[in-house]
Amino acid sequence: MFIKQYINCEICPHKCKVNRLEGKIGRCKCNDKIKIALASIHMYEEPCISGKNGSGTVFFSNCNMNCKFCQNYEISQESKGYEIEIEDLAKIFLDLQNKGVNNINLVTPTTYVYQIIEAIRIAKGEGLEIPIIYNSNAYERVETLKDLKRVYRCLFTRFKVLF
């Protein structure tokens, strides 16, 4: 795993440099724990994403944008949700796949990207086969996306990554 990324955090363009491994909170309101608000079957994304069986959506808490009028304000700015371990996230991916969803839809994943990469690696080792959607708020650091692209190619050689 990319533990070093959390020591002097520069995952997003804010580059706030906090040590998240010591429990310090960055501008994104995140520490070293994964926090999610909801993991469920979402039938109301765009039809090409939801399809007939729905999208296996994981809403991550907190956000690096800090928008005052966010449609998910309670999740993104008020940190609503609960903390989970990387292994729990992998299990969530597999449980959603077992429910027949078309994909895993990661909503606002940026600040947890390296933990997500590890969870995908674990889940893939246990049979995760469906596509992963990186449903970003679009405030990304190019270097972080390059890490994601490199790892995605290793994890999902069958799928095309578009960025």
SS (H, E, C) the chain: CCHHHHCCCCCCCCCCCCCHHHCCCCCCCCCCCEEEEEEEEECCCCHHHHCCCCEEEEEECCCCCCCCCCCCHHHHCCCCCEEECHHHHHHHHHHHHHCCCCCEEEECCHHHHHHHHHHHHHHHHCCCCCCEEEECCCCCCHHHHHHHHHHHHHHCCCCCCCC
pTM above 0.95, yes or no: no
Residue 5 lies in a domain: no
**Percent of the chain beyond pLDDT 70?**
91
Domain that holds residue 112: 31-155
Confidence class for position 152, pLDDT limits 50, 70, 90: low
Residue 133 lies in a domain: yes
Residue 60 lies in a domain: yes
Confidence class for position 92, pLDDT limits 50, 70, 90: very high
Residue 162 lies in a domain: no
Confidence class for position 81, pLDDT limits 50, 70, 90: very high
Residue 53 lies in a domain: yes
Residue 95, domain CATH:
3.20.20.70
Residue 116 lies in a domain: yes
Residue 61 lies in a domain: yes
Residue 79 lies in a domain: yes
Question: How many structural domains comprise the chain?
Answer: 1
- Considering only residues 39 and 149, tell me which one the structure prediction assigns the higher pLDDT: 39
